[in-house]
Structure 1
Amino acid sequence: VAAFSFLLIMSLLFVAPPLVSAAATPLAVAGLFAGAFYLFDRRGVLLDPSYPSLAIIGGYLFGAVTLWRAETSARRHVRQAFGKFVAPAVVDRLAEHPERLVLGGETRELTVLFSDLRNFSGISEGLSARELTQFMNEYLTPMTDAILEEEGTIDKYMGDAVLAFWNAPLDIEDHPRKAVRAALTMREALVSLNKRRAEAAASSGNDAQPAAMGLGLNLGPCSVGNMGSIRRFDYSILGDTVNLASRLEGASKAFQTDIVASGAVRDAAPDFSWLDLGRVRVVGKSEPTRVFALAGDRSMAVSDSYVRWRKSHDLMRQEYESGRFEAAAKGASALARSVPEPWPALYVVLEQRYRGLAREGSQDNWSSVWNLSSK
């Protein structure tokens, strides 16, 4: 009987070890001893409950170890797959609940950031391979830290370009604001990097060309998941939202400013300091997109100097939208002389555009949409 009980219980344990819980194990052992005592006391049948009890305890230990190893392996896999590209807080949440990680592909609303260095060829000219590698590490490290500290996910590095996104693989609360804060931190980090490079170059009697960055922000649905081939794949994003973020980075060149965001991002984070740039039609898109320049954070948005700046800017934009190009050009010229660096460059570009339109004269089919010809 003992041998039969042992084989029966062990077979059940190997088939479904998770069924033997910490609470059920002592109850089962106690039941065996109680049953053996009852049979001996009332029926005169002697059964040894020790072997079945040992089988139950052994099965429980086997199941517990098996489950522990499976959970540990799943957590290790998550950390290896995402630890270098996802914020530590998000990795911890993924490791605790790996079942939330949807493999394959899914459609999610993401905030997408695309950044790129300006004039990288000019910066790298004259640098040795070692010096260029050091420069790229000094540039990408603070940029990556800024993204990860705001719970973003690094999609990939493309030379000096960075593609990142928010709200995947886990839900990130208030992700558009976190992306905007990351962009502002990246701007500050680049200023610090240029300062350090200038000081190092001055100490050696050389000149260091300052680095400039362009950055595009967009918000919308994306396909996110394991992308690639059956031999190699990465957790990545695809979709029109991603393409537009890249085009907005390119639009920042035309406006001579560093951070350009879509209207969707501005509407999701309206309490930051924004400047309306109007509507543009980027390369590859038939529909125009409303774009905004990011001037500063929320504390700046309530400052008197910014409020006056924005009112003058909006007045200039109204003159332009109404087709009064000379008045718009005068407004842009006045702003170029009054705003702090590096913003005069934006208004120099706008003044040139407005004066060019004034020379052409108003046309019946005129549109305020700016058709950009380059990426």
Structure 2
Amino acid sequence: MISPWVTFFVVIVMTFISAVLLVTSKTILNRILMPFTFIVGYNLISFFLFKYNMNLNLSIFSISYPVTFAVFLGYMILIEGAEKRKYSKILGNMVDPTIVSEALNDLETLKKGGEMEITAFFSDVASFSTISEQLSSEDLAALLNEYLSAMTIILKDNRGTLDKYIGDAVVGIFGAPIATQSHFLDAAKATLQMLEKLEDLKKYWQANNLYCKDAQNMNIRVGLNTGLAKVGFMGTDTLASYTMMGDTVNLAARLEAAGKDYGVSTLVSSMTQEKIKDQILTRELDAVVVKGKTLPVHIFEIVGIRGQVPDNLVQATAFYEEGFQLYLNREWDKAIKKFKESSQVKGKKDKSAEMLIERCELYIADPPPENWNGAFVRTHK
């Protein structure tokens, strides 16, 4: 018979090895099967030693190892369960429940965060300060709750993650925490659905004489940009949120703000447009150098889903883009003609076309330098 101390040492070593495997194992099934594997292994070792007239005490191991393992496993499940509940609570208000379940399947990756390709979403209510000045605090809260609730539902329905609210602004992430192959398309479709839903809300407010005239006719601006960003949980143990950071995010915010200058509800970068162009009709509006950068970014308006856009808007988009190419080629008079044709076919005021016409007229009087690349430099956000 082998000394009980040797048996005890073997039990300790095998328990330690299984504990390490328990911590590194990703599935509950593996953790449940692990003790049975070690018991079989211990018996095989005992059988091998028995051939050489050495006996391990099977009863000590058969009792002590499962008990030790069960206690450790229970502790691990308790700790992991608490962590899952913590992150589930954080994500619960940010994403659709199905995405929460999916994200929690790989808790370690979720906790660590990292760099992912995403589409950053920023939206803002145009002239919201004017609206807020006309409403009581109760009506303002009711308006915001109604509007933000509707927009957030659409965001989540399209696999978006709510990053935060900033007053009337909505900040969202598409493509994280669960990576998707269509985050750019999800973001574009969510944007179009939000614009459509806002029209329904305005009709309801007008019909029921709710809030104020400016609220009943309010508009929103959305900026989208696709690229790499740092994503993950940030904050304290008691107050954390899943958020994004980086140049990709900053550009999306600046595109949202720039929409005001062009009189459009949506602005997306060329990085997003390149990925959605087969399904979403866009209009190339301009090439701009945003504040703090040196290279131009080509910016686009989302017109609508291909096949669902009215013929006059399709034609107006084509005329505008022809005019923009003439503008880039320094053919100012021809460009002006196309921009005017675009506005005429569109059937309503087009601030973007008016802006480019004004620039063409300025360049006729004072041509840009020979090395001009067509980019307009924005000096404000």
Amino acid of the residue matched to residue 357 of structure 2?
Y
Q: How does 1:26-41 map to 2 (within 5 A)?
A: 27=40
C-alpha RMSD of matched pairs (Å) = 3.7
1:372 aligns to what? 378
Say if 2:99 is the partner of 1:90: yes
Please show how residues 1-375 of structure 1 align to structure 2 within 5 Å: 11=12, 15=16, 18=19, 21-24=34-37, 27=40, 52-103=61-112, 106-201=114-209, 208-227=215-234, 234-271=241-278, 272-300=280-308, 305-339=312-346, 344-345=348-349, 347-355=350-358, 357-358=360-361, 361-365=364-368, 367=372, 368-375=374-381
Q: Could you tell me how far apart the structure 1 residues matched to 2:14 and 2:205 are?
A: 65
TM-score, normalization by structure 1 = 0.81
Residues 323 and 362 in structure 1, CA contact (< 8 A), matched pair in contact too:
no
Give 3-state SS (helix, strand or coil) of 2:244's partner: strand
Separation of aligned partners in 1, 2:322 and 2:72: 72
Range moving further from structure 2, 247-256 or 193-202:
193-202
Maintained 8 Å contact 2:122/2:253: yes
Displacement of 1:124: 1.4
- In structure 1, runs of 5+ residues without a counterpart are none
Using the alignment, how far apart are the partners of 1:365 and 1:336 within structure 2? 25
Deviation of 1:318 (Å): 3.1
Structure 2 counterpart of 1:161, which letter?
Answer: A
SS state at 1:300 partner? coil
**C-alpha separation in 1, matches of 2:238 and 2:73:** 34
Amino acid at match of 1:358: E
Q: Which amino acid aligns with 1:274?
A: T
Alpha-carbon contact 2:164-2:172 (below 8 Å) kept: yes
Q: Output the CA distance in 2 between the equivalents of 1:134 and 1:285.
A: 39
Question: Which residue matches 2:26?
Answer: none
**SS at structure 1 position matched to 2:176:** coil
Deviation at 1:329, TM superposition (A): 3.2
**Aligned residues, how many?**
364
Contact between 2:332 and 2:363, CA under 8 Å: does it hold in 1? no
- Determine helix, strand or coil for the equivalent of 1:173: coil
Task: Report the 3-state secondary structure (helix = DSSP H, G, I; strand = E; otherwise coil) of the residue aligned with 1:130.
Answer: helix
Deviates more, 1:158-167 or 1:261-270: 158-167
Question: Once structures 1 and 2 are overlaid, which stretch shifts more, 248-257 or 274-283?
Answer: 274-283
Q: Partners of 2:366 and 2:255 in 1: how far apart?
A: 28
Amino acid at match of 2:223: G
CA distance in 1, matches of 2:4, 2:67: 15
1:263 Cα deviation from its structure 2 partner: 0.6
Aligned equivalents of 2:227, 2:326: Cα separation in 1: 31
SS at match of 2:307: helix
Q: Which is further off, 55-64 or 84-93? A: 55-64
User: What code does the residue aligned with 1:137 have?
Assistant: N
In structure 2, distance between residues paired with 1:360 and 1:5: 92
Q: Amino acid of the residue matched to residue 200 of structure 2?
A: S
Moved more, 70-79 or 6-15: 6-15
Find the aligned partners of 2:209 and 2:136 in 1 and give their Cα distance.
15
**CA deviation after TM superposition for structure 1 residue 348, in Å:** 4.1
Q: Which moved more, 1:265-274 or 1:168-177?
A: 168-177
Cα offset, 1:98, TM superposition: 0.6
2: distance between equivalents of 1:320 and 1:309? 16
1:143 is displaced (CA, Å) by: 1.6
Structure 2 alignment gaps of length 5 or more: 22-32
Deviations 1:86-133 (A, max 9, x none): 333332122111122252x63333211111110101211221112111
What is the one-letter code of the residue matched to 2:86? H
Per-residue Cα deviation, 1:303-346 (whole angstroms, up to 9, x for no partner): 75554333222222233333344443343333323326xxx33x
Kept after mapping to 2: 8 A contact 1:29/1:56: no
Change (3 A) 1:189 1:66: same
Q: Could you tell me how far apart the structure 1 residues matched to 2:38 and 2:187 are? A: 50
Q: Is the partner of 2:222 in helix, strand or coil?
A: strand
Moved more, 356-365 or 146-155: 356-365
Tell which deviates more after alignment, 24-33 or 135-144.
24-33
**Could you tell me how far apart the structure 1 residues matched to 2:226 and 2:195 are?**
20
Larger deviation, residues 322-331 vs 261-270: 322-331
